Structure 1
């Protein structure tokens, strides 16, 4: 009948395995799972002790008593892991570290299971007594070590605990641990440590201690609701956030709806979700859009959806609806999480921001137009600052400023240059005979005639009155003479209309030229301004020499 007994044991093992799987991998917190594992370890000792005592004796008694001590071997590591999670130090427990922590307990359990050479438990053939060997004390030693470390952690946590509930649950675990330890010590003293107690006279104090500790801890945990902290926090968070939360299962049944959403839609948990009723109760403006939204989430369960809708209650509100799939550990969709977030204030803020941006854009355009006007005005002022108001050519100040740079560069690199100074002959007689307006017309007409024969790089400036100056860069004495001749001829043949009666006037000019053909030989001047003044003095002297010699002629001088 041995196979029937093993079949029964296999059924019990399968049922226990399924029980462990449901609680270990269900939707519980890690602390729940760790405590359930510890509770199962509590269960192993009394269960197999009972089974062993119901057996008639022999080999099977040895199996069951070994199974009981295997559970006792794991009690220490189970309590230590529970202590670590309870005190909020679960970050310490990683797979490799957990394996190292559990190694003494695993070795002890292996020693109990394999019982090498009867060093843990053996049967005396003559008397039939069950006696423990030296490995028994290894099990007891590692158990004492684990429980001592657990007790130290709990005592430290009680002293450092910041909140009263945390301190209470830690004290509960510490009292339970000390209770188990006390019953275990009493069991060894009362029943002795040299046999299994299967021969009679055994008082199950350790089993009673485990049961008492479990009852005490379960009562304290249920009363203090310590393990419900996460669920309470989740519920409170869901009910206090301003976003509506709706949880649907794979059959579109309402599993959860927070307080905010229930106020808006009057949804009830357990009802079949109906998008039409939701649209009616929430007074959604675009009902077709919300119906298409929920239809799409049913057809494409793996996808995420988002939609903005308008709700007309006391005042228009804008709500963003988001739908995301809820997946299990195998990434299979098992439901939907639908959120309703009121974005009215954000929408109004965006609209106000857009309006402000448009206003700023218009003002920026106006400012740009003003800047363009200012730029044009500045350019006009700059032009007026460097030009002569009557003739439109450069003024004397601009000419002197340009000559300081041009002469410096020319003298430094040894390039030739020339300066022409000309004066309108008998200009005073024109003013006296025809008036100053005619004189102004003559000045402007003369400048226009001179401009037409000048080169692009030449600078024409009014030096004062009817006297003008032309700066000729990169021009030798002979080249300057040719330019001066063109200027003289152009002015001489320029007939200007100066009146309504068809009066025309033509004038001549006298020209003085000063040239620097070899700037390197002239040397770099110490004072550029004084050097320029000297050039003008020479040009002016040449001009007056031309006037003295009969006007309408050119006098050319060379400084170097």
Structure 2
């Protein structure tokens, strides 16, 4: 490689790897050195699989290599399908979401002066920042900004999906609605900043109590909802009562003054005749009954008998 091309090869802002027919590394640019922590003089002359054995088990990679050498074809490894080809540390923010660098990779043939394909190249593009940005945009459309829980729009969508899944597999499904008691008084007497603190504290308490498979969110105002897949009414009522007592035991502080909150909750179970709206309506009616009965309690409403 002449000096002009070598400068481009080593200063381009993407990884470049050259392999011979035995998949031995014949070139490894500075970008690859920096992000892989493998020096060129360590890897050049060695089989790529010595350093990245997982590539041997990627069928898409093996197929792309064979097509490149046999037919001169190009192969593409999109981030959405493969996430990455070379496992490298994420050099950006969001390591908790994406510990590995997200990559878009291109693999293609290299021909010699006689037109024979004796080697191939792999170009590695770091797309982690774009993926993080895309992830944040998606989160903004489905997460409540105050509590960090799912918002009403996303909850409604998920409820429809869980109803369909429950019917398809014959598994139980319950819905729980809860509302902070006397929340208007908190806002009026202590201010909206205190009200916001109450909602954030409540969200964190609830988040710690539910399973990862449960779908918890803020339905609006001081009202929260949890979709409980594969949960019978009996178990849902036990869980709701545990939430209620745990929340009543929380000691909150605002301007160094302690205070407590309680919730009223309604729980119901899916029937074959239910729609998302009817399930929500029945849970909401149960919650209203809990309010009417004195608050700080949960009402579990059995599903109505099936229509004749």
TM range (shorter): 0.5 to 0.7
Return the TM-score normalized by structure 2.
0.60
Root-mean-square deviation over aligned CA pairs: 2.2
Question: Which of the two has higher C-alpha Rg?
Answer: 1
The answer to whether 1:512 aligns with 2:266 is yes
Q: Which runs of 5+ in 2 are unaligned?
A: 17-30, 32-90, 92-102, 104-123
CA distance in 1, matches of 2:14, 2:288: 63
Distance apart, 1:393 and its partner CA = 0.9
The answer to whether 1:426 aligns with 2:182 is yes
The number of equivalent residue pairs is 200
Distance apart, 1:350 and its partner CA = 2.2
1:298-447 correspondence runs (5 A) = 350-361=2-13, 371-447=127-203
Aligned to 1:479: 235
Aligned to 2:56: none
More strand, by proportion: 2
2:14–2:126 Cα contact (<8 Å) kept:
no
2:287–2:299 Cα contact (<8 Å) kept:
yes
Distance apart, 1:452 and its partner CA = 2.0
2:15–2:125 Cα contact (<8 Å) kept:
no
Q: Which runs of 5+ in 1 are unaligned?
A: 1-348, 526-530
Distance apart, 1:362 and its partner CA = 5.5
Distance apart, 1:376 and its partner CA = 1.6
More helix, by proportion: 1
Distance apart, 1:400 and its partner CA = 1.2
Secondary structure at 1:421 match in 2? strand
The answer to whether 1:452 aligns with 2:211 is no
The answer to whether 1:495 aligns with 2:251 is yes
1:510–1:543 Cα contact (<8 Å) kept:
yes
Aligned to 1:55: none
Distance apart, 1:363 and its partner CA = 8.4
Distance 1:362 1:421, change over 3 A: closer
2:265–2:287 Cα contact (<8 Å) kept:
yes
1:534 pairs, out of 256, 259, 278, with 278
Higher relative contact order (CA 8 A, sep 6+): 2
Distance apart, 1:455 and its partner CA = 2.1
CA distance in 2, matches of 1:410, 1:453: 23
Distance apart, 1:361 and its partner CA = 4.7
CA distance in 2, matches of 1:383, 1:535: 26
Distance 1:546 1:361, change over 3 A: closer
CA distance in 1, matches of 2:258, 2:159: 36
The answer to whether 1:464 aligns with 2:220 is yes
Distance apart, 1:545 and its partner CA = 1.1
Distance apart, 1:503 and its partner CA = 1.3
CA distance in 2, matches of 1:432, 1:369: 54
Distance apart, 1:556 and its partner CA = 1.1
Distance 1:369 1:395, change over 3 A: farther
1:450–1:490 Cα contact (<8 Å) kept:
no
Return the TM-score normalized by structure 1.
0.34
CA distance in 1, matches of 2:13, 2:214: 46
The answer to whether 1:549 aligns with 2:303 is no
Secondary structure at 1:559 match in 2? coil
